[in-house]
Amino acid sequence: MKYPKIERYSLGQMTQAKILELVECVLTASSTPERSRVEILFRASALLDLVKLQIRLGYEVQALNEKYYLTLQTKLQEIGKMLGGWIKTTTKGAR
């Protein structure tokens, strides 16, 4: 994350921690049996929403410039689509 020094150790660290937690959820879900995978994927989805919110907050307090913010938002939207598709196929298979 490219936060200015003043924001790097507060908002930047919180955002990075949530991103790492999100990655951990995705990796855990990939190696978990399908029946118990849904809960982990929903947790990952909630973390993704929180990361999006923190990134938007970083933009609103002008810690991130518009170009970088838009790049991050585009990538996060794509991750959200992939995660949503994974949740959809997993919930269909769990029935």
Within-domain flag for 81:
yes
Within-domain flag for 52:
yes
Separation between Cα atoms, residue 88 and residue 36, nearest integer Å = 14
Question: Does the structure show a pLDDT above 70 at 21?
Answer: yes
pLDDT band at 35 (very low <50, low <70, confident <90, very high): confident
The predicted model scores a pTM of: 0.87
Separation between Cα atoms, residue 47 and residue 79, nearest integer Å = 12
Identify the DSSP state of 10: I
Name the domain count of the chain: 1
Whole-Å CA distances, 54 to 29, 68, 79, 87: 24, 14, 16, 23
Average pLDDT score over the chain: 90
Identify the domain containing residue 90 by its residue range.
12-94
Within-domain flag for 20:
yes
Within-domain flag for 7:
no
Within-domain flag for 65:
yes
Question: Does the structure show a pLDDT above 60 at 95?
Answer: no
> Residue 44 corresponds to which tokens in the numbers above?
């990952």
What local confidence, expressed as pLDDT, does residue 7 receive?
Answer: 63
